[in-house]
Structure 1
Amino acid sequence: MSLKLAKFQIGQVVKHRLFPFRGVIFDVDPVYANTEEWWNAIPEHVRPRKDQPFYHLLAENDETEYVAYVSEQNLLIDDSETPIRHPQLGDFFEAKIDGVYTPKERMSH
């Protein structure tokens, strides 16, 4: 299996292709890296392939904010310019520049 380069980057705002939510990417897995239980809970007719990048999103819809794990094939760029309101946004990102949130510098010791 050859690894595919991620189409989206950390800090980009994306929306789901099928479901009404959007979010900002805070991490990327080169291939599926969640549990089999999570995988099997996805209805088979919409279940994505495992051999593609999967993105961790600070996600939101009209009702709530949450963390989502989404396959690359189900994401599109969100160019709405609407700010992300997720309460954890400040834990991961600083300013938004040209539509992309800037990741905070990680402290190491």
Structure 2
Amino acid sequence: MERAEFFSSQAGRTIVAPLQIRANFGIGDVVRHRMFAFRGVVFDVDPVFANSEEWYESIPEDIRPRRDQPFYHLLAENDDSSYVAYVSQANLISDAEGGPVDHPTVRQLFDSFKDGRYRMRAALTH
């Protein structure tokens, strides 16, 4: 199986991931959590788990997601607040509501919302 390396600034280390893993969502997609009442816009994607061991172990074992799947960084919101979330692919679905996300950082990263997704600011793309 072919593998690729990427550096995770979140984990502070290099992560090795199988090449056949495919992300279901991309930067700018609006998604919803399968179990918890929040939604958000994707602003970064890790091909496999790349957060701290402490963060991973804090998830109750009976709902802890597998590490060998994409994990998404979200500008998230619920009825009470806005925050940044790190969520496994298995726990996300497309947001059927399709409306904009009301997170204060959205305007710093994205410049428009069209057809149910955000467009990254041109200055932030490479």
Q: What range describes the TM-score normalised by the shorter chain of this pair? A: over 0.9
Is 1:2 the counterpart of 2:18 in the alignment?
yes
Unaligned runs of 5+ in 1: none
Is 1:94 the counterpart of 2:111 in the alignment?
yes
Q: Greater share of strand residues, 1 or 2?
A: 2
TM-score w.r.t. length of structure 2: 0.82
In the comparison of the two structures, how many residue pairs are matched?
A: 108
Corresponding residue for residue 12 of structure 1: 29
Q: Structure 1 vs Structure 2: percent identity of aligned residues?
A: 55
SS of 2:122's equivalent in the other structure is coil
Are residues 107 and 99 of structure 1, via their aligned partners in 2, closer, same or farther at CA, if it must alter by over 3 Å?
closer
Where has structure 1 moved over 3 Å in runs of 4 or more?
none
TM-score w.r.t. length of structure 1: 0.94
Unaligned runs of 5+ in 2: 1-16
Structure 2 residue identity aligned to 1:64: S
Is 1:53 the counterpart of 2:70 in the alignment?
yes
Bigger relative contact order, structure 1 or 2, given CA contacts below 8 A and separation 6+?
1
Cα offsets for 1:60-103 (capped at 9, x unmatched): 00000000000000000002033211000001101111111000
